[in-house]
Amino acid sequence: MTVVLCYDVERAKTRRRVSGFLEDHLVRVQKSVFEGRLTAAQANRLFDGTCRHLDVGDSLRMYVMTRSGLEKSRVWGGAPLPEEGEFYLL
C-alpha cells in the first residue's frame, strides 16, 4: 500500500532527527512530507518509531492511499513515487 507521512515539528533539532529517520524508509516529496510503499505492519512500525522522536506539541499524520485514490492523484514537480517493487523497507 502507498502511505503518506507528514509532520509538523517545532524544534529544528527534532525536525532533523525525524526527517533523517523517515528518509531511511520513504521518499521525501516535500520538506515535511514523505511517501512510500509499505505493508500495513511496516507502516504501523514506522509510524510508532517516528512518534518516539517527537516532542509534546509536535504532530505526525499518516494517510493510506488506495489504488483508486492514487490513480486520481495529481503531481506537479518533485520526486516521483517509486514504482511497485522498486522500494524496500530494510
- Domain locations along the chain: 2-66
In this prediction, residue 89 carries a pLDDT of 52
* The three cell numbers locating residue 75: 503531481
In this prediction, residue 13 carries a pLDDT of 96
In this prediction, residue 81 carries a pLDDT of 61
Positions of the chain with pLDDT lower than 50, given as ranges: 90
The b/e string for 40-60 (b: 16+ C-beta within 10 A; e otherwise) is: eebbeebeeebeebbeeebeb
In this prediction, residue 80 carries a pLDDT of 67
CATH fold label, 2-66:
Alpha-Beta Plaits (3.30.70)
